[in-house]
Amino acid sequence: AQSVTQLGSHVSVSEGALVLLRCNYSSSVPPYLFWYVQYPNQGLQLLLKYTTGATLVKGINGFEAEFKKSETSFHLTKPSAHMSDAAEYFCAVSDYDGSGDKLTFGTGTRLAVRP
Amino acid sequence: EAGVAQSPRYKIIEKRQSVAFWCNPISGHATLYWYQQILGQGPKLLIQFQNNGVVDDSQLPKDRFSAERLKGVDSTLKIQPAKLEDSAVYLCASSVVYPPEQFFGPGTRLTVL
């Protein structure tokens, strides 16, 4: 069974500082990995995904993540935080079986951005 | 392209009452998912449909929860009777079979008093 661990339920950074949100996964098969963002009272929006190919994945809003198989990690980074990045971020691993993917989510990391 | 639609957005009921949520997926998306997101946790899959058939309902509390997908398009999720611990946001998502990318609706926030 897949599982996801997000270290740090709350992260606070200054505007313009590096954003690093950590995600480690457990999967018995080559994983598909995702980062979603959730703004208050909204659904989840896909930031980026890793399926196959290049291990450094670029997403929307300047975010990127690197798949490291040896470390079973998929950490999310952004070089310079913006106030609008304040939200909750979820890492997820997919159990894709040909009939659609079943996502297992981490518990989320709430990002605060200080002026 | 229209996104995933859900209604109502908010619902407050008393325990032991029943409630139903509605979801309209993105046109052409064969797969539909219902998730439960309890405050402070990540979403948890309740049920997955492909067209109008159930693919996975292993985490659906079948004694009180039921779901159907009419004609492979819209879906309803029902809780009867509701318990306090059912207070959560219920998210609907849809996707094509491949590539794996789920599109989420805005959710329905349920409060059980």
Q: Would you list the DSSP string of B48-72?
A: EEETTEEEE-TTS-TTTEEEEEGGG
Cα–Cα separations (whole angstroms), residue B104 to A9, A20, B84: 22, 24, 25
CB contact under 8 A, A100 and B48: yes
CA atoms within 13 A on the CB side of A43: 24
Of A36, A51, A108, the CB nearest to B100: A51
- Amino acid B96: pLDDT: 87
**Positions of chain A with pLDDT under 70:** 96-100
CB contact under 8 A, A100 and B101: no
Of B91, B99, B105, the CB nearest to A51: B99
CA A38 to chain centre: 11
pLDDT for B93 beyond 90: yes
Closest chain A residue to the Cα of B38, Cα to Cα? A107
- Amino acid A22: pLDDT: 97
Q: Which residues of A touch B106 (CB under 8 A)?
A: 41-43
Least confident piece of the model among A37-41, A53-57, B23-27, B99-103: B99-103
Percent of chain B with pLDDT over 70: 99
B72 close to A (CB below 8 A): no
pLDDT for B1 beyond 90: no
CA angle at B21 for the pair B107 and A91, rounded to the nearest 5° = 30
Of A41, A43, A96, the CB nearest to B91: A43
Cα–Cα separations (whole angstroms), residue B42 to A5, A74, B1: 11, 17, 27
CA of B50 vs chain A CAs: smallest distance (Å) = 7
Q: Which residues of B touch A41 (CB under 8 A)?
A: 106-107, 109
For residues A21 and A7, what is the distance between their CA atoms, to the nearest angstrom? 8
Pair of tokens at residue B86: 């059912």
Percent of chain B with pLDDT over 90: 81
For residues A6 and A25, what is the distance between their CA atoms, to the nearest angstrom? 9
CA of B82 vs chain A CAs: smallest distance (Å) = 22
**8 A C-beta contact, residue B21 and residue B90:** yes
Residues B4-28, mean pLDDT to the nearest whole number: 96
List of residues 6+ apart from B98 with CB closer than 8 A: none
Residues B56-82, mean pLDDT to the nearest whole number: 94
For residues B67 and A3, what is the distance between their CA atoms, to the nearest angstrom? 26
CB contact under 8 A, A101 and B100: yes
- Amino acid A83: pLDDT: 96
CB contact under 8 A, A100 and B55: yes
